[in-house]
Amino acid sequence: MNKNIKRIIATALMCASFSGMAAFEAAAAPKYVNITGDPVAVREAPGTSAKFIKQVRYGDQMVYLSEKNDKDGVRWYQIKLSDDKSGWVTSAYAETVDEEKVGRLEVTTKLLNVRSEASLTSAVLGITKIGTQFDYFSVKKDSSDQTWYFVHYEDDKTAWLLGTYCKVISEPGKADSTTTTKATSDNKNKQVEITANPVNVRSKASLSGSKLGTVSKGKRYEYLATDTDEKGQVWYKIRYTSEKTGWVLGSLSRIVNSGSTTESEKTSKTESTTTQAAESKQVEITADALNVRSTPGMNGKIITTVKNGSKYNYLASKKDSEGKTWYQIEYKSGKKGWISAGYAKIINKGATTASTTTTTATKATTSGKKVRITGGRVNVRASAGLNGKKLGSVKKGEEYKYLATKKDSNGDVWYQIQYTSKTKGWVLGSLSKLVTEETKATTTTTAAEKTETKKVEITESPVNVRKSASTDSKKLGTTSEGKKYKLLATKKDKNGKTWYQIQYTSKTKGWVLGTFCKLV
């Protein structure tokens, strides 16, 4: 009798276990794990006693596999590493990222560098090709106002792509625009315009589809449907001839409304309507030396070179095959040529030169300004350029007196700083930023009277409470997720990380790292 009862109970528990497992599997699992500590250990199993594998850094986005509690009840996330290996990180220094918080983009140029930072001077991690798609997490602009996307590059890597050569397919929190679309009555008013030359028409939505023929740039065809291939690339189905249909790659075409102006028509119309306006405009060179070419593009023959600050009559603008803008100028009486727009700017005739304006502005506004280092370790050079002699290096979060601003031959911004009491030097603008004394004041301790109504809520477990605002400071104890404390002050440490001072006990004050809590 007892054995039968035990068997029934065991069966019931097993059913409940499978039921719970099914419910868990039905829920949408997170897609990535975002690392919030620096550095964070990756271990072979969930638990601090498990074998160490490697370290990951703050901001890394790792592919999520599963999660589990260790023997102390602390949550651990299993992440994917390279070569089909995996490891575990503690939830104290990591957080999950759901599918809807991830964007999607596609590369639109033949070859594109994958870089370690959002800068043209950063290390190249690899090269990607046209049509390749990536998940992206955030967007950033560099010192030249160029847009960069922070993407998931490989299983255990993140990287940056220049936005000029990418197109966003879906933004975080928005529906994916590549969802397969069946032909409807709405499609009758849509066409597919070819944007490259030539483009293959295939029998199915894949590069493995048999080639039916080719179509040329500017041509339009009836739009029938949208689909994605095994690599996530978008394809458009078109009516190729009166009797045949086929598929063209979405990165080499676009959907337009019937009757809208084609790209070539727009260009000619724009050029004709801007001729008069161009007569009153000039192009000012912003690079030290810039090539003038016979045609708009890097393949154009070099005619001559022009120098920084020189101005020429502006004639027209045009984009090359990679989408880069070029300006046509009259570099000598009766002679025309093309220059890259990235190293020049359009001004009205008679406007003050950029160098004069910059010098005046710098002299007027340098007082009270400092340069804050934002890169991990940044070289200080004797002149504004990567070829300048290295004087030493500075660390993230350090601040120096700001003296001047200058652009190098590549158009990158550099800041001159008072490196030591007797030495001046230059740091790259993409690895630093200008701050004022007022800005610095607001990032240090906040006045108590402004925080009387605010509290600090702990968002992780466990979180250390320390005697001062530093990870090197004495540990007073720990607190757990959901607990709230009175906010006394706010401060940033030498690494630029925010700390909150709390009323830990009735008699004790302490500091908690802002990464693991929030103001309420």
Question: What is the rounded end-to-end Cα distance, in angstroms, of the chain?
Answer: 58
> Per the confidence metrics, is the pTM higher than 0.75?
no
Place of tokens 């030498």: 494
Spatial distance between the Cα atoms of 470 and 98, rounded to a whole number of angstroms: 31
Give residue 2's pLDDT.
Answer: 56
Give residue 60's pLDDT.
Answer: 85
Give residue 78's pLDDT.
Answer: 92
Are 377 and 393 spatial neighbours (Cβ–Cβ below 8 Å)?
Answer: yes
Are 283 and 215 spatial neighbours (Cβ–Cβ below 8 Å)?
Answer: no
> How far are the Cα atoms of 164, 166, 321, 449, 514 from residue 492, in angstroms, in the given order?
35, 36, 47, 19, 9
Are 183 and 226 spatial neighbours (Cβ–Cβ below 8 Å)?
Answer: no
* CB proximity list for 292: less than 8 A, separation 6 or greater: 302, 303, 304, 305, 306, 329, 331, 337, 338, 339
Place of tokens 């802002």: 514
Phi-psi category of residue 482: left, alpha or beta, with phi > 0 → left and psi -120 to 50 → alpha = left
Q: Which of 167, 194, 57 minimizes the C-alpha distance to 103?
A: 167
Are 201 and 246 spatial neighbours (Cβ–Cβ below 8 Å)?
Answer: yes
Provide the total of helices (H) and of strands (E) in the chain, helices listed first.
Answer: 5, 42
Spatial distance between the Cα atoms of 452 and 430, rounded to a whole number of angstroms: 38
Spatial distance between the Cα atoms of 116 and 109, rounded to a whole number of angstroms: 19
The helix/strand/coil state of 475 is: strand
* CB proximity list for 458: less than 8 A, separation 6 or greater: 479, 480, 481, 482, 483, 484, 485, 512, 516, 517
Strand partners, 134: 105
* CB proximity list for 397: less than 8 A, separation 6 or greater: 372, 373, 492, 493, 494, 495, 496
- Let me know how long the chain is: 520
DSSP class of 472: T
Spell out the SS3 assignment of 276-293.
Answer: HHHCCEEEEECCCEEEEE
Give residue 217's pLDDT.
Answer: 84
Buried b / exposed e along 111-121 (16+ C-beta atoms within 10 A): ebbbbebbbbe
Q: Which of 150, 192, 164 minimizes the C-alpha distance to 60?
A: 150
Spell out the SS3 assignment of 48-99.
Answer: CCCCEEEEECCCCEEEEEEEEECCCCCEEEEEECCCCCEEEEEHHHEEEECH
Phi, psi of 101 (to 5 degrees): -90, 5
> How far are the Cα atoms of 67, 71, 75, 492 from residue 24, in angstroms, in the given order?
12, 21, 16, 40
Give residue 351's pLDDT.
Answer: 56
Buried b / exposed e along 500-516 (16+ C-beta atoms within 10 A): bbbebeeeebbbbbbbb
SS3 helix, strand, coil % of the chain, rounded to 5?
Answer: 15, 45, 35
Are 145 and 162 spatial neighbours (Cβ–Cβ below 8 Å)?
Answer: no
Give residue 196's pLDDT.
Answer: 81
Per-10-residue mean pLDDT of the chain, 520 residues long, equals 54 45 48 84 91 87 88 88 85 85 88 88 88 89 85 84 90 52 52 85 86 88 81 80 85 77 48 48 81 85 86 84 80 86 78 44 57 82 85 85 84 86 87 66 39 74 87 87 88 83 90 85
Spatial distance between the Cα atoms of 433 and 442, rounded to a whole number of angstroms: 16
Compute the chain's Rg from CA coordinates: 29
Strand partners, 128: 112
Place of tokens 């192009």: 283
Give residue 263's pLDDT.
Answer: 47
> How far are the Cα atoms of 107, 317, 346, 369 from residue 218, in angstroms, in the given order?
21, 19, 29, 51
Which run of H or of E encompasses 37? none
